[in-house]
Structure formats: structure tokens, C-alpha cells
Structure 1
Amino acid sequence: MRTAYPTARLRGSKQQKEESVDKQGIIDASRAKREGERIFYTSCPANGCWDSACVLKCHVKDNKLIAIEPDDSVNANDSREDCGWENIWKGNVQMRPCAMGHSWKKEIEAETRLLHPMKRVGEKGPGKGYFVQISWEEALDTIADKMKEIKAKYGPYGIFHSQYPSFEKNGFPLAAWWEAGFGAWGEHSTSGHAAGEMLHLGVDLTKVASGRSDASPGFEASDIFNSKLFIMWGMDPVVAWFGPTSYYMQLAHEYGCKTIVIDPRYTQSAEILADQWIPIRPGTDLAMMLAIAQVLYEEDLIDHKFVDEWVDKAGFEEWRAYVMGEGEDGIKKTPEWAAPICAVPAETIREFARLYGTTKPVHLQYFYSCAKRHMGDYSAIASMLLQSMTGNIACPGGCETGACLPTPGRVPAPRADWHRDPGNYKPPVLFNNNCLTEILACQKDYWEGRMSESEFRHRIGSPTNDSPLPNIQMIIFENNYGNNHSNVNKRFAGMASTEFNWGFQWHLNQPTAELCDIILPAPIWQLEGMDEYMYGHQRFVSGPNGMRNYFTFCGRGLDFPGEVRSKEWVWTEIAKRLGVADKYNPRMLDVDVDHWVDAQEAVYKEAFENWANNETIMAYLGYEKRPTWEEFNAHPVIRTEIDSPYYPFRTRIERGESPFETPSGKIEFSSNYVKTHDMTESRWRGQIEPMPVWSPSYVEGDIGSASNDGFYNPKVKKYPLSMVSPVSIYRQHSSNDNNPFMREDCYRHAVWISGVDAQARGIKDGDICRVYSDRGEVELTAYVTNRMMPGTAAVHHGAWFQTDGTPAECNTFGEDLRGTPNILLDDGHLPHILGALITAGLVEVEKLRDGDAEGFGNEAERGGMRGASVALNYRRSLGEGKE
């Protein structure tokens, strides 16, 4: 009997041939489609990505962005990570962008993209006025004239530039020559930890950031592999920490590092990484930490060698006495004492403390969210003291738990020289950078004699009693600055009250545009033109933290759309009108707008060639021959290997020098600075105890730690849910809230509420709810989930403030329809010290109506362009609906 195999083989051969032809046809068609395509590399250091400068491989054809690929600089033409365990230890990993990095195409081509200069007709503020298109000449002339007018009327401190005036810096580009503008102390992200770092560890991030101190408290990503136990306290790195550090945390867990998550939410990190999840009431972290310390003291789970060498003994004993009930209050801070406060069982707290105290090293990451609350400084301080008790604060695999990001750089990058004059004006530091809202709210009362100078200084965090005082009448916006801080109603009212504001915006319907008299179309930095970036970054961008063993060059991308122009061109044109352009930008003084990007690129090429001619740098990086500019642009990621990773304070510790610049030169469990200074007359302008205690002496009553946003505040009777505002994997602060890829296709913005709390309020998943506090209200759909512990709620950070235009009680501009949590949050601190940016508060949620096709399934329409003010302004900006 004949077999059928030969026939089958013939049939298969013919089929394979046809498939081969088809495959080749597909390849040929794809190749033809990509003829004329150009590839350039750039980075994506937009708002919020402080751990990395991810690498984007961009494909462009006919000035259109065709595709964005991940970094392929380790494995050429391949984004996989298969370089081996040893290489991963050395930091040889590719800097792959997240979903937001891949979504920029939708930002560039957005229907709401601002493409022309626009002037407001009518008053500033949501629901008021509208925009009309104007020429660049009119925009620049008006801006320059108004700058001169406001400086003449109010002096040099009447103009505020919003681009990150933190770490005592001033963002106003023309300050040094036009002699105006001012800076601020403090910053946003680590603001809740700053008091602990300075008062108990003696760490001044301003000095670290400026290179004046090498007591850097950060760690490099691969140091996580040295840890035996990883504690994520209020931390969700899978979602909230973009870049390699999050990736290394996941790798460490896979390779056996035990992980515990402490959080009121069952986060993605808890689901993916945690061996144990411990839910805790928001704002009660300090109680649990005091109980952990009590167990450590009682069972002698202390690293005595470290404590003897690096800890001030008097303060160590003082805090021990308080924790053990030998202090004034006589209360022993046992797990049984803490359990009813923080809703964590006493047995869990005790066993956690024992595991923590008997494991070494431990990476206890007490993250920003927990500390950025009213009096959250105390829990941040306590986390640092726990790490000090156990010797985990300054060792391989350990963590300082405050500003964990700053580390020394490893790769010297080129630096373009624009031949700028150094200037003679040094902008003074006038306030705490989280107190801008307060300045705008009360400056008129001070300058018109209704508020004392002392009270004004206290409200704004004036650094000294001799510091000049601001009278802000012009705000220059570089981003969506109005939207992103607490107490939005108060903030917008203050920003709308100034004489003249202007700034750069991406979208016509950005909330901050509503606060401007003139808005200028902003380039998307990483993809259009060749402008510098914030904090002195040029186009040679290094990962700012976590993994600083590389830099990438952000090459020339797309041409500007519409009438979008380089920001550097704009500032140079304004400088010409102010008479300082020859000092601000002498190399570009006579370059016309059509050749601007060419001239910028020439300066960067010069900088690269000077760098490549440095034989010492070339030898350090392992180059056998000097790379050309063309070769560099083809592969613009420069990387060196990490020999052994940086851990907190490593530079000082290994030299045998103290990194702790306190009065005693050691870690102070009880701050000697606080004991010897009137803190109300310091730049902190408020009260704080010398050591973290549960019941501060300046809190009235006997309700315990009565913070403005905690369960033990009397207003919890009216607003019984403790709301947190976590960041999302789909937002960089508020960037991408208008991006269809990030809003409609993958993300549901809602108020998270537990099943228990939802049932008590008659709320079902998808229902439309009113979420309100004593500061404002917002309309949101409900996400009913047991990922939230009872008594809590969550609204993710990043949504744009857009209203129905109908003012009401607590709603200066109307109810928010899009869902910013910042409208619900208080910004008050006093009598406690100033400094922390508040990101949590007390709210109530009530059902408005059942979820339906319009309300639940159409977020973009309900909370996007439907807001009366924004929709009207948008139509008017296009020439429709003018009155």
C-alpha cells in the first residue's frame, strides 16, 4: 500500500514557497513604505519621571511621527533584556519607556493642540472670557511691555516664574540680567521628608543637588539586590516609579528578596510583588512605627555598633523613654496601643517588628505619599529613626527613606556653551515653594495694611525676618502649574487675581490656560526642536537618579507645527525687547527664526566634538577611537558599568566621615536644632516637637494627633472617608490627561471606594457620585472595590480641573466635572511647620444617579470637553460663538 507522505511533502513544499513569496512581499511592501524614513533618539523626562531618562527610538517620515520603539542600546535592534545577571548588576539595562512614553504621538496630533499665540478677551478664570488668535509680534510686544510695567510698579519681586522654583532656585530665564524674579526653598516630591532629613539627619538636599555636599542619601538601582527584606510603605513602584529602579525591585523579588507592602490600598505592587500586604488607616503610620520601635527596644533588636558610632546617645535615650512609656505621657507605645489607631492587629505589628529587627539589610522605603500630609513629617522622621536603630540607614541594601533618589553621576556628559554672561543679580529666596497659593490669597491684605508683616511671613514661609516680601502680579506658566497642587479653588482664585499672566501651553483646554492673558503655543520638548530642559538639562540628558551610569542625546526631531516656535527663541525675542539679549543669548542673537534649530544643533555638535577630543574621557568610557558626530547620533546612548552600586551616604561612610551634618555631627533622635531655636521664627514658620510624638503639645484637646486630614480630626463626622490621591501609570502629574491613548482606551478615572462603604451609601460600581469636602466638590463615577480598606477612598492625581461654570458654596468656579483630587484637599499647616505639599484629605461620597451610557461609559465627554467654560472658550478660539 502506497504511503501518502511524498504527496504531502510536495504539497507542503508548494505551500512553503507560496508563503515565502507572501512573506517577501510583506517585507518589500514594508520597506517601500519606510523609504525616506529617518530615525532619531530622544528622551522623555516629562513631569514626574524623576528616576530615569528613558530612551525613545523615534521613526519620522514627511515630518510625521510614524512609530516610537524602546531603547535598544544594549542589545542592538532588540529591546529584550537578555544580557545576563552579571550585566544587570552592572547597570547594563535598556531604558525602556512606559506606556506614556509610547503615547506622545497623540499629544502631537491632538485636536486641541495650541498652534498659535492667543489673547484673552475678558477676565481670567474658568468660565470667564475667551481667547482670540494674535500675531507673534503682538504677543511678544505685549508681554515685554507688561513685564516692564509690573517691574516698575511692584519691583523685581512682582514677577513669578512657575518652572520649579525649588531648592532655592529661580526658574525665570532672564533673571540674572533683567534683575527680577525670586526663588523658593523646599520642593514638591520629598517635601514631607525634608524636615526629618534636615533636623534629624542634617541632610540638606539643596546642597546635595548643587554639588556643595557629597552626603547623598540616594541609592543606585542595583543596590536593591543587596537587600534581604524590602518594605514598601505607601509605595507602589509598579505604577508610580517609572524607569529602572522599579524594574530592579521586581527582579529582586523574583530572586528571593522578601517583600512587604503597607498601604490602605491593595496596589498593583501588592498584587505582583508582595509576600504580605498590611492594610493601614491613612495617616496613622506614626502609631505603627512607634509600636515597632517599642518592640525593638524591649527585645533589644538594635544594631548597637551602628548606634554607638553614628547616633547621638542623649536623643536616642530620650526617644526610648518616650516609646517605652517613661516620658511625660506615661503611655507605653505597644502594638496593643497602636492596633486600634491604625487598624493593624497587634500580633501583626509585633511579628513585623521582629522580622524587621532580625533581618539585615532591610530596604524600608517610606514613600512620599505618606509623608505629604498634615504633620506627616513625624512619620517620615520615625521611619528614618527605625532605619537608624537597626543600622539600615547607611549600608549596602539599606535605605534612608526620604530623598532616596540623589546619587553621584558616573558619566561625564558634554555641555553646550552658549557664551552667556554670568550676570550680577542673584534672585533671593522669598518663600516655601508649596506656599504660592497662600501668597496669592493674602498678599493684598498685607500690602494694603490689613495683615501684619509677621503673619504674612509666617503664612508664606519667609526664610528670615529680613527677607524681601513678594507682591506677585505676573505669573509666567511653563506647564499646567495651576492644576497640580491642593486647594484648587483657592489657588485658581489667587492666580486669576493677578494683573497679567502669560505662559506656554500645549492644549487650548488646559486648566492653567484659563489663568492666562496670553498663551503661547509650546513645543513638545523631546520631539520638536532642540530647546534645553528644566533644571539646566540640555539635550545631553542623564538619568537624574537611580541609574546614573548613562546619558543620551535628544536629537533633532520634528519640525514645529503651525506657529509653534522654540521657547529659547521666544525668550531671546523677549530679552531683545528688555535690552538684555546680548547677555542672555549672544550666540543666537542674529539668528532668524527659520534657521534657529540649525544654529542650536551646531552648538550641540561643537559641544560633542570638544567632549570627544578629551582623551581622558574617551579612555574612561572605553573608546578606541574618537566617535564622529554622525556616529554618535546613530547610537546616542553613552553608558559605563557600575562596579559596585552606590548606597545611602556611601561616599562619606567609606571615608570614615560623618554624613550627618547636625549640631552633634550624628543622627539625632531628638533634634538639638529644634531644642535651641524658635521654629516659628525659622523658615519653617511653625511648631514641631524635637522628636516624633503621637500627641504634639501644640494640638488642642485630647484627641491624639488631630491632623487636618486624619481620622482623629473633629470634621471626620461630616467627612468620614480618608482620601488619598495616588499617581497613575497613565499620567505624569497632569500630562496625558488630554491624550486619547491614555484617557479613553485604557484608563477609567473614578473615585475608589470599598464595598462596605459603597453599600452603606447605596452606591454601585459605575454610579455617578458627588465627592466633596470642605474645600470643593467633584463629580466622578464610582469604582467599588475591595482593594480599598473600609473608611478610605482614592482619587488618582493627574485629572484636569474643568468646571460646569456655576459657582456655588465651596466652589468658586463651579463643580469640577473632570476629577482633580486637588479641589478636595486643604493646604493648611499652621500651627505645624510649613513645607509639605498636602496630597490627602477627608471627604464624603454620595450617589447622584445610576451609571448609564453617557455617565459611566463616556468619561471623555462627561468630564472632558463638556465643561461649559472650556468648551465655550475652545469654540471661541476657533472663531465660533463670538458675541
Structure 2
Amino acid sequence: MDKQDIIDARKKAREGERIFYTSCPNNGCWDSACILKCHEKDGKLIAIEPDDSINAGMCREDVEWESIWRGMVQMRPCSMGHAWKEELYGETRLTHPMKRIGEKGPGKGYFVEIGWEEALDTIAEKMIEIKEKYGEFGIFHTQYGSFSKNGFPLAKWWPASFGFWGDHSTSGHTAGENFHLGFDLTKSMVSGASPALPGFEASDVFNSKLIIMWGMDPVVDWFGPTSYYMQLAHEYGCKTIVVDPRYTASCEVLADQWIPIRPGTDLAMLLAMAQVLFEEDLYDHDYVAEWVEPEGFKEWRAYCLGRGEDGIAKTPEWAEAICAVPAETIREFARLYGTTKPVHLQYFYSCAKRHLGEYSAAAAMLLQTMTGNLACPGGCQTGSALPTPGRIPTPFADFKQAPSDYTIPVLCNNNKLTETLACQKDYWEGRMSEEEFRHRIGAPTDDSPLPNIQMLIIENNYVNNHHDTNKRMEGFASTEFNWGFQWHKNQPSMEFCDIVLPSPVWQFEGMDQYMYGHQRFVSGPSGMRNYFVFSDAGCEYPGEVRSKEWVWTQIAKRLGVAEQYNPRMVDVEWEDWTAAQREIYKEAYEEWAEDKTGVLKRLGIDPKPWDEFVANPVVRIPIDTPYYPYKSCLEAGINPFQTESGKIEFVSSFVKKNDLTKTKWRGQFDPMPVWEPSYVEGDIATAAADGFYNPKASEYPLSLVTPVSVYRQHSSNDNNPLLREDCYRHGVWISGVDAKARGIKDGDVVRVYSETGEMELAAYVTNRMMPGTAAVHHGAWFQGGGKKTELNPYGMDMRGAPNILLDDVHLPNILGTLLTAGLVEVEKVADGDVEGYGPEAERSGMRGAATAIASREALGEKEAL
């Protein structure tokens, strides 16, 4: 076969294919709405290309500087975006409704296929039954259970479920933002009740003279344009410093300097930096005079300089003994920081989401304040740092849902679902006081209703992805009836469903809305908001997979609220479902394109006819000047800092005046960031249960961190064969020093254990880890194929899901933070070349108990069970 024959054969293979565009803004891609150019043939996805909606045929690196600065660049997907085909057509893909026979939990039952009518009838009957027995708060819908809302789609007309306060990603920063800056992410990003938006657009990093990535690894964990622009800024001469216990990919690619630090000791270093800035008078006097409440500033200054109650100056020498960073390094780093402006100091989620991490997160915000870098071009608010204003009004598809005055009440903190399930029975059966129950779950008020959850509607891998997985699984198994949508037969959360429905992969299959209220006209919530993409109908649903909106409509019919929930689609047959949804989106686009207000014309947008638009469905405008934190407020003369004083408060007046144990926080907190909390008897060791100085470190001497991976969006793609082992080696990272002391060599099978669980996985021995530290990447799926013990009721984890090693204890400190760190020990189990271990065993998925699946035909007499 010659060259032309090959070309002709490839052309023939592509005959009849269709190109459509979509986006995959799964949670984990906060600032991106990457654009995927997809090829479909015979109803199946056959290829994915990167964005070509602008600068087609050009390398991004060859785009002129003006276009880069103004955000006129391609929005290319990462490795996961390109790997979706293997996720869609994996051997373990769930394609039929299933019913569980036996108890919930791994190894305690099996599933049989059932029809849609049986599944939907049973679900509706159980929803009615649970609500009648336990009230509307006996049902909890796991999807979007944060930001003071809940995603149960029928609640407006069939009241049930409840909301959570708080969130997951930025939870460690929430207290600092609330108490010191007067900022509430829910009000700004979700409800729109506050105009204060503390995010930044990607190109604003070009205004920075110094970028500090504290616990941040944007090359890996900040998908989308922000990481790309940080790389460009570094190439153009912006100095970059990384503070992290690991030598990360961002250290290798971006850093001019890496400062390794003991995990959990960040606050000591931040206090020492503040001490240098105060002692050497390197803070921004003008900014402090304008924006900072003066008495609290004086009090924190006295604390840092050793003139407070404890009399200890928080010098670099003091901090060196705690965080293992040389005093000289801390002092010179502080001087560089204090004499450079503007500085983009991004104190990232990993450092804040641990015991007492709220203090260090607040300290980082105060450092940015005292240096005048909190709200300026090139600066960073260093908290949530997410929301920015949209630049283009997007079309809105009106499905004509009926109005409702019902508001889902908020009952507890979103990171306390595990605790709610663990202790609700004791409360309702009289073994726990109401005060204690409210205390444990973060009830927002003393008169808010209390939950008695007996049905969990599980729409994601919710069991797997939070701290203390063993305790969480026990709670999920304790309810009367659970159901939900899952993607794979071996997905951990499926084990806790009584009925499981096959979930579509919504960016490729059908026309359902995206998460967090996105319709099919998708833009990122921050990072770069000068464009949107229409995610068109893509591939056919495999097997018996159905649209989620179709499923909810069928349930709504059985509950008598379908005409209110989805009136325009209620009588549409399944075969016509996607086409009918698409027509409503077409209608929305054409109404938008009429531009009745003239806003599109003013923005320079000339809408194309629908058929031309869907051929290249991206609307993009150039950015004039990039958004920086609080820019919209400052330019409009609006004070963004809604504290009691109207200033940034280094000592929080709210904390000083309120007993936080009587508020939603349900714990104690000091009014300013301090190394030793006033409410802790003894020293910080008693409070920081995940730190080197806690007494239990004698038994669990390694400080575990759980970074994300470039191959996982939380736990999405852990089952993807293209990403699982061929290009990503999942294991416990351990330093050469710690490995040698334990007789461990690279590739050996080891046991990693803590107070809450244990696992077996391979060791990755590397000097990229600071001694005394271990890392297991977030996102692996629990596979309980190991020995069952009291500590591991579902078996030792044989895959390496790190949340099984982490506790969920907050008290006496305030509630709210999703914990991502802990103390562990590692010991050798076997050499890496022992049969049954190693890459082949992991790749095949044979190590670990898979869900028992049976068809009706194969069961025979067992079906009667």
C-alpha cells in the first residue's frame, strides 16, 4: 500500500462523519470551559481535536502578543478532555438500570438488570414512603449540596431535601474571607446578592512582578487558561517562587525558586514574614491607612513582633524550628515580597484544607493586604479567587417551569454529611441532645429544622470523595433506601444504591444541562470569561442510558408535578427527546441573536444564523483590560469589604463579639491568626491533629498530603483505561530517606495506614518529597478487596483512595473545612515483583472486589430473591 492508498483509505473511513463542538466543565476545572472539536460517526465518538475556533492552524505560541493579552486564544482541553472516548466506551460502562439484591456495601449483595418502568415506579414509591415517614428532610440529594442550596430538581413543586452551607474547594478560606474581608462567596457567585468579585482573569498575571504559588501546582491542578498564562508570564520574565513540601511539576516548569516546607506549618512562616515586614517597615502605609481598620492592625502587629500576650516574637528563627525553612530564606523571601509590587500570592486550597488551615489562609490574605497586593492589577485576593464578571450575555433556553415560592432550607454544613449520618440515629432515638447534634453537623441556627436522612439520591461519586471514607460508607449503608445515577459498574458509590440508573456523559450524550445551572451555552466561572461555546447534541446514548432530565420528568409524572417541572417536554416521546431539547436551545439562540437591547452590537458581536453558528459555535470578544480582584467594586466606588467596620479587619469584630459555638460555625476561633489558639489547652499539638507536633505522630510519623492529578477530575477518569496506569502511576510518594529507614525500594507493595483506615499500593520512592512527608493523589476509587477488620469493615483498600486515611474531626475549632491531610505510617508488604502485584494487576482491575453484577437470564432461581 503506497502513501496515496493510505490517504484514500483514511478518507473513506471518515465518510459520513459529523463534527460537533462541546465543552467539559466538570467540577475540578473551575476556571475553564475548554472547547472540544468532536468527530461522530454512526452515533459514536471517534475522535477529539483541540479548539480551532480561533487562530486555526496556528500554534498558540505563534499568536501575536496583543491577541494573547486580550484573551483571543484557543481554549484547548487537557489530557482528560482528549481521553473521554475511552470513558464513554469502557468495558465497565453501566448501560441498564440495576436493582440491588441484599444489603448495601461492597461484598454484601449483587445487582440484577431491571427495566425502566420498574426502576422509576420503585423510586417514586420509595420517595413518597420516605417523605411520609420522615418528613421532607428525610431525603437528601447529593448533587450540588453546597453554597446554601441543593440540587433536588423537583423541590420547588414537591418539597423535599435540604441545602448545605459552605463548599468543598474553597472551604479552608471561607472563615478568613468572612471574618476579615467581609466576603461571602455564596452571595457573590451564587445568589448575586453582593457585587464583590475577588477573582482575576488569566491575563492579569502579566501585570504581576512576582508570582508566589503557595501549595499551588497550576500545571497540574488549575486546568484551562490560567496555568497557560502563568507559564507565559514566567517566560516573559515574571519571577516565580513555589512553597510546597513536594517538588511539583510547577516547580520544574515554572519556579525560579522552590522552598520546601513541612506540611501544616505554613502559618509559622507567614507570621515570620509579617514580622519581617513590620520590623523593617516594608508594608504599604498608604494602602493600610485607606483600607485597614487601625486598632486590629496594631494588635496583630504587636502579636507578630512579640509585644502581645505571649511575648514571643514570630521571627524567622522562631519559624525555622517549626517549618524547617532556614531563617535566612524566610527573611530574604519576606524582603523580596515586601519590596516587589504587584505580587500575585496565591495561597492555594491544599494548605487551607487541613486542621487550623483557616488561620494560615487568613494570614495570607492579611499579608496581601498589608503589602497592598490584595486588590490591584497583578495582585491576588488569595482566598477563593474565583468569581469574575461575565463579559458576554449568553442565550437562555426557557423550558417554562412553573414559578414557586418554596425555598429549600439550609440545615447543616456540606462537609458534615458523614457526621450527620453517623449521629442522627442517636439524636432521634434520644441518646444525643439536640444541642450536641446541632453542634456536630453545623446547624445554621438553633431553631432550624434537623435532618433524619433515610434516602440518599447519589448523582456522583459522593461516597468516595470526602474525608473518612470508612465512616462515610457506614453512614450511606445505614439509610433505608438510596438510588442514583452512576457511570461504571465498579464505581464505589454504586455499592450504596438500592437502585442505580445508568448516567449519561452529558457533554457528549444528549442535551441535558451542565452542572451548577449551566445550560448548553457554556462559559467558565472565572479565568477567562470573554467567550462561550454551545455544546451541541453529540453521540447516541449507549444501551438503555437515558437523559437525566427525561428521568426526572418521568419521576415528576409519578409524583404529580411534571407539568410544573418540565411542561414543554412532558409529552415528548423518548425517541424525540434530544431533538426537542435542541429545538428549545435553537429558539433561545435565535431570540438572543435578535439583539433587542443592542448589547451585542455594542460588544461588536454579529450573530450568525443558527446553522452557521452550530458549525463553529463559539462567540468570543477581546478583553479590554483584564479583571483583577474587586475591580468592578473599586471602579464603581463601592466598598467591597462588608465587615462591621467597613474595612479589612486584622482582628475580626464579628468573632470578638459573637460566641461562634452558637452560630453555624459551631466551634471556636480566634479573632486574628495566631500560632497557638487561645481555646486549646497546652500547645498547638492538641488542636492540629494532622501535624508533626501532635502526640500521635509518634505512631503515625508521616504527614500525608493528597494532591490532585492531571489525569483525574476529582475521581472522574480513575476507571479510564487510557489514563489509569499506562500514563499515570498511582502510588504513595515517599522520600528516599523515609523509604530507606523502612526498607522500602521503589515499586514495592506497601501498607499505608492511619487511625481511620488502611490501604495497599505501590511505593514511589522519590526525592521530590520532603522527608517526613507522604503523598497519595486524590481521585482513586476505593476497592475493598483486602482483609476486613474493625477499622476496615469493607476491607482494606487495594486501589489507594486517600480519603480513607483522613479523619473528619474539627472540634473544638470551627466547622466548615473539607480536610485533605492527615498523619500516616508506611510499611513494606512485598517486593514489587511479587506475582499478583504491580502494573498488570492494577491495569486489569483484578485486585479489589468488583461489584457483583448478574443478568436476569443468568440468575435463574436466584431472581426470586
Give TM-score scaled by structure 2 length. Answer: 0.98
- Indicate conservation of the 8 Å contact 1:767/1:856, yes or no: no
The structure-2 alpha-carbon separation of the partners of 1:603 and 1:630, relative to structure 1 and needing over 3 Å to count, comes to: same
What is the DSSP-based 3-state SS (H/G/I as helix, E as strand, rest coil) of the residue aligned with 1:65? strand
For the residues of structure 2 that align with 1:744 and 1:728, how far apart are their CA atoms? 13
Partner of 1:670: 651
The structure-2 alpha-carbon separation of the partners of 1:805 and 1:150, relative to structure 1 and needing over 3 Å to count, comes to: farther
For the residues of structure 2 that align with 1:775 and 1:878, how far apart are their CA atoms? 41
For the residues of structure 2 that align with 1:79 and 1:359, how far apart are their CA atoms? 33
Is the radius of gyration larger for structure 1 or structure 2? Answer: 1
For the residues of structure 2 that align with 1:863 and 1:459, how far apart are their CA atoms? 41
For the residues of structure 1 that align with 2:59 and 2:399, how far apart are their CA atoms? 36
1:696 aligned onto 2:696:
no
One-letter code of the match for 2:769? M
Partner of 2:35: 55
Partner of 2:16: 36
Shift of 1:234: 0.2
Paired residues for 1:723-742 under 5 Å: 723-742=704-723
Partner of 2:139: 159
One-letter code of the match for 2:13? K
Shift of 1:855: 5.0
The structure-2 alpha-carbon separation of the partners of 1:599 and 1:685, relative to structure 1 and needing over 3 Å to count, comes to: same
Partner of 2:430: 449
- Indicate conservation of the 8 Å contact 1:367/1:401, yes or no: yes
What is the DSSP-based 3-state SS (H/G/I as helix, E as strand, rest coil) of the residue aligned with 1:178? coil
Paired residues for 1:585-624 under 5 Å: 585-615=566-596, 616-624=598-606
Partner of 1:798: 779
Partner of 1:543: 524
For the residues of structure 2 that align with 1:712 and 1:144, how far apart are their CA atoms? 52
What is the DSSP-based 3-state SS (H/G/I as helix, E as strand, rest coil) of the residue aligned with 1:52? coil
Partner of 1:331: 312
Partner of 1:71: 51
- Indicate conservation of the 8 Å contact 1:818/1:862, yes or no: no
What is the DSSP-based 3-state SS (H/G/I as helix, E as strand, rest coil) of the residue aligned with 2:62? coil
Shift of 1:655: 2.6
- Indicate conservation of the 8 Å contact 1:695/1:705, yes or no: no
Shift of 1:120: 0.1
The structure-2 alpha-carbon separation of the partners of 1:853 and 1:68, relative to structure 1 and needing over 3 Å to count, comes to: farther
The structure-2 alpha-carbon separation of the partners of 1:876 and 1:588, relative to structure 1 and needing over 3 Å to count, comes to: closer
1:106 aligned onto 2:86:
yes
What is the DSSP-based 3-state SS (H/G/I as helix, E as strand, rest coil) of the residue aligned with 1:475? strand
Partner of 2:818: 837
Deviations, residues 340-392 of structure 1 (Å, cap 9, x unaligned): 10000000000000000000000000000000001100000000000001000
Shift of 1:867: 1.7
Shift of 1:65: 1.3
- Indicate conservation of the 8 Å contact 2:677/2:684, yes or no: no
One-letter code of the match for 2:67? N
| Residue range with higher mean Cα deviation, 651-660 or 626-635 | 651-660
Partner of 2:617: 636
One-letter code of the match for 1:513? M
For the residues of structure 1 that align with 2:857 and 2:271, how far apart are their CA atoms? 59
Partner of 1:11: none
Partner of 1:761: 742
Partner of 1:183: 163
- Indicate conservation of the 8 Å contact 1:199/1:662, yes or no: yes
Shift of 1:78: 5.1
Shift of 1:456: 0.4
For the residues of structure 1 that align with 2:812 and 2:103, how far apart are their CA atoms? 35
One-letter code of the match for 1:288? M
| Residue range with higher mean Cα deviation, 539-548 or 649-658 | 649-658
Deviations, residues 4-40 of structure 1 (Å, cap 9, x unaligned): xxxxxxxxxxxxxxxxx95544433322221101000
For the residues of structure 1 that align with 2:743 and 2:848, how far apart are their CA atoms? 27
Partner of 1:470: 451
Q: Of residues 71, 74, 77 in structure 2, which corresponds to 1:94?
A: 74
Partner of 2:302: 321
- Indicate conservation of the 8 Å contact 1:201/1:667, yes or no: yes
For the residues of structure 2 that align with 1:357 and 1:380, how far apart are their CA atoms? 19
The structure-2 alpha-carbon separation of the partners of 1:703 and 1:397, relative to structure 1 and needing over 3 Å to count, comes to: closer
For the residues of structure 1 that align with 2:858 and 2:313, how far apart are their CA atoms? 70
Shift of 1:744: 2.4
The structure-2 alpha-carbon separation of the partners of 1:258 and 1:436, relative to structure 1 and needing over 3 Å to count, comes to: same
Shift of 1:595: 0.6
The structure-2 alpha-carbon separation of the partners of 1:34 and 1:102, relative to structure 1 and needing over 3 Å to count, comes to: same
One-letter code of the match for 1:155? G
What is the DSSP-based 3-state SS (H/G/I as helix, E as strand, rest coil) of the residue aligned with 2:226? helix
Partner of 1:773: 754
Partner of 1:808: 789
Partner of 1:378: 359
For the residues of structure 2 that align with 1:672 and 1:855, how far apart are their CA atoms? 60
One-letter code of the match for 2:150? N
Partner of 1:9: none
For the residues of structure 2 that align with 1:480 and 1:656, how far apart are their CA atoms? 44
For the residues of structure 1 that align with 2:413 and 2:584, how far apart are their CA atoms? 36
What is the DSSP-based 3-state SS (H/G/I as helix, E as strand, rest coil) of the residue aligned with 1:501? strand
- Indicate conservation of the 8 Å contact 2:785/2:848, yes or no: yes
For the residues of structure 1 that align with 2:736 and 2:38, how far apart are their CA atoms? 45
The structure-2 alpha-carbon separation of the partners of 1:878 and 1:215, relative to structure 1 and needing over 3 Å to count, comes to: farther
| Residue range with higher mean Cα deviation, 848-857 or 693-702 | 848-857
The structure-2 alpha-carbon separation of the partners of 1:282 and 1:832, relative to structure 1 and needing over 3 Å to count, comes to: same
For the residues of structure 2 that align with 1:852 and 1:860, how far apart are their CA atoms? 11
The structure-2 alpha-carbon separation of the partners of 1:878 and 1:464, relative to structure 1 and needing over 3 Å to count, comes to: farther
Partner of 1:277: 258
Deviations, residues 426-459 of structure 1 (Å, cap 9, x unaligned): 1000011000000000000000000000000010
One-letter code of the match for 1:741? L
Question: Alpha carbon RMSD of aligned pairs, Å?
Answer: 1.5
For the residues of structure 1 that align with 2:405 and 2:269, how far apart are their CA atoms? 51
Partner of 1:263: 244
The structure-2 alpha-carbon separation of the partners of 1:771 and 1:502, relative to structure 1 and needing over 3 Å to count, comes to: same
Shift of 1:697: 1.4
Partner of 2:376: 395
What is the DSSP-based 3-state SS (H/G/I as helix, E as strand, rest coil) of the residue aligned with 2:381? coil
Deviations, residues 544-590 of structure 1 (Å, cap 9, x unaligned): 11101110000010111100011000000000000000000000011
One-letter code of the match for 1:652? C
What is the DSSP-based 3-state SS (H/G/I as helix, E as strand, rest coil) of the residue aligned with 2:37? strand
For the residues of structure 1 that align with 2:848 and 2:179, how far apart are their CA atoms? 46
One-letter code of the match for 2:103? E
For the residues of structure 2 that align with 1:453 and 1:576, how far apart are their CA atoms? 38
What is the DSSP-based 3-state SS (H/G/I as helix, E as strand, rest coil) of the residue aligned with 1:588? coil
Identity across matched positions, percent: 72
Partner of 2:733: 752
| Residue range with higher mean Cα deviation, 819-828 or 57-66 | 57-66
For the residues of structure 2 that align with 1:757 and 1:683, how far apart are their CA atoms? 41
The structure-2 alpha-carbon separation of the partners of 1:29 and 1:212, relative to structure 1 and needing over 3 Å to count, comes to: same
- Indicate conservation of the 8 Å contact 1:47/1:735, yes or no: no
Shift of 1:535: 1.2
Deviations, residues 613-665 of structure 1 (Å, cap 9, x unaligned): 115143134245x4111011001011111100000011112233321000000
For the residues of structure 1 that align with 2:330 and 2:85, how far apart are their CA atoms? 48
Partner of 2:481: 500
One-letter code of the match for 2:602? Y
One-letter code of the match for 1:474? M
For the residues of structure 2 that align with 1:800 and 1:620, how far apart are their CA atoms? 49
For the residues of structure 2 that align with 1:243 and 1:671, how far apart are their CA atoms? 35
Partner of 2:385: 404
Paired residues for 1:120-159 under 5 Å: 120-159=100-139
Partner of 2:442: 461
1:788 aligned onto 2:769:
yes
- Indicate conservation of the 8 Å contact 2:142/2:458, yes or no: yes
